[in-house]
Amino acid sequence: MELKKILKQAEATADEVAELTSGLVKFNSAHPDGYTDKVVEYIKAYCDKHGIENEVHAHDPKKQNIVARVKGSSKKKVIWVGHMDVVPEGKPENWTYPPYSGTIADGSVWGRGSSDMKGSCAAAMVSARILNEMDSIPNTVEYWFTCDEEIGGGAGAKWLAETGKFKGDVCVIGDGNGGGPRAPSIDLGCKGGAGVKLIARGRTAHGSTPFLGDNAISKLIKGVPWVEKIDDFELDFPKDILPVVKGSLEYYKASTPPALYKAMEHNFYTPSVTCNII
């Protein structure tokens, strides 16, 4: 696969991406309804037009998901995940342009969801077209456009994962980042999470005779300092992942205040621990 050729093609698609973004924004997929069926129709029509394999998956008829697939020559698969739903627009009179107009002006696409994340969805659609037009690609790429991301993914990514529809070797989250549209970046993201519940058992006693009891809360309090020490445990990254971590940090160093960069660096290399309720 010729990477330079792909990048050159991608650079020439700015107008196409803008037009697709505008088209996506015109569909009101805001919560509390969060309906994405019309957005899916739009994406499907584009895929069908360009001969891109696609499937619609829906746990709810009005809240649909669609995957666009470009098959590769190996069994390995890259999954791109984005979302079509958006947060409410607030007061329309406060917008420079109507929130669902998809107006293209001043070098931007204006409207609810243009940055979070219908612009990224449009770019993914064009990316699928470019890869589909290649003679061959080494790995299969699936572009998943999902619903319900803004409210926990119940009919979207969560349902797709629980039903075994998400299967791949690498996952790329297409959501935007703090760099903005003119300073895009690829970051190593979520380290994963684990919830741990510590249980201590004791024996109640009257307040006047605490020595006759066995205070379970006191036992748990003794464990708090040890839980907090986990935050200083340096993660052991796989060798092929470490350069991505370092590269992500270096990218932001020049534009990040020193104190914030120090905190960000700590979060990249160590677990984040929260001790909630005793």
**Which tokens go with 104?**
């293209």
Task: Give the total residue count for the chain.
Answer: 278
29 and 159 fall within a common domain:
yes
pLDDT of amino acid 80: 96
pLDDT of amino acid 193: 75
Nearest to 123 by CA among 184, 214, 74: 184
261 and 150 fall within a common domain:
no
- Domain housing 34: 3-173
149 is known as an active-site residue: yes
203 and 157 fall within a common domain:
no
- Separation of alpha carbons 36 and 30, rounded Å: 9
Detail the DSSP E strand segments found in the chain: 53-60, 63-70, 77-83, 103-105, 108-110, 140-146, 170-173
Q: What are phi and psi of 104, to 5 degrees?
A: -105, 110
Tell me if 37 is assigned to some domain: yes
> Residue 134: is its pLDDT beyond 60?
yes
Q: 3-state class of 262 per DSSP?
A: helix
pLDDT of amino acid 188: 61
Range in 64-68, 122-126, 209-213, 241-245 with the lowest mean pLDDT = 241-245
Tell me if 187 is assigned to some domain: no
Q: Look at the chain and report how many structural domains it folds into.
A: 2
Average pLDDT over residues 215-241: 87
Model pLDDT for residues 179-197, shown as the tens digit of each residue: 666 666 666 655 677 788 8
Q: What are phi and psi of 213, to 5 degrees?
A: -105, -175
Model pLDDT for residues 62-84, shown as the tens digit of each residue: 999 999 999 999 999 999 999 99
Contacts of 262 by beta carbon, 8 Å cutoff, 6+ apart? none
Give the pLDDT band of residue 160 (cuts 50, 70, 90): very high
* CA 151 vs CA 9, 31, 174: distances in Å: 35, 8, 17
> Residue 253: is its pLDDT beyond 90?
no
pLDDT of amino acid 177: 64
22 and 115 fall within a common domain:
yes
Tell me if 182 is assigned to some domain: no
133 and 96 fall within a common domain:
yes
The answer to whether 30 and 13 have CB atoms below 8 angstroms apart is no
pLDDT of amino acid 187: 66
230 and 163 fall within a common domain:
no
- Separation of alpha carbons 259 and 207, rounded Å: 47
Of 141, 173, 205, the residue at which a domain comes to its end is 173
Provide the CATH number for the domain around residue 76. 3.40.630.10
Tell me if 178 is assigned to some domain: no
Output 232 or 177, whichever has higher pLDDT: 232
137 and 224 fall within a common domain:
no
> Residue 256: is its pLDDT beyond 90?
no
pLDDT of amino acid 270: 85
Tell me if 189 is assigned to some domain: no
73 and 152 fall within a common domain:
yes
Of 173, 207, 224, the residue at which a domain comes to its end is 173
Of 173, 208, 225, the residue at which a domain comes to its end is 173
Tell me if 183 is assigned to some domain: no
Tell me if 184 is assigned to some domain: no
Which one of 85, 142, 148, 150 is the catalytic residue?
85
**Other residues' Cβ atoms within 10 Å of the Cβ of residue 41:** 14
Which one of 142, 148, 149, 150 is the catalytic residue?
149
Averaged confidence pLDDT in the chain: 90
16 is known as an active-site residue: no
* CA 43 vs CA 82, 115, 118, 129, 144: distances in Å: 13, 17, 11, 12, 11
139 and 217 fall within a common domain:
no
For the chain, the first-to-last Cα distance in angstroms comes to 55
40 and 87 fall within a common domain:
yes
158 and 228 fall within a common domain:
no
Average pLDDT over residues 204-228: 91
pLDDT of amino acid 182: 67
Range in 45-59, 213-227, 232-246, 253-267 with the lowest mean pLDDT = 232-246
Between CA 83 and CA 27, with CA 167 as vertex, the angle to 5 degrees is 15
Tell me if 186 is assigned to some domain: no
36 and 82 fall within a common domain:
yes
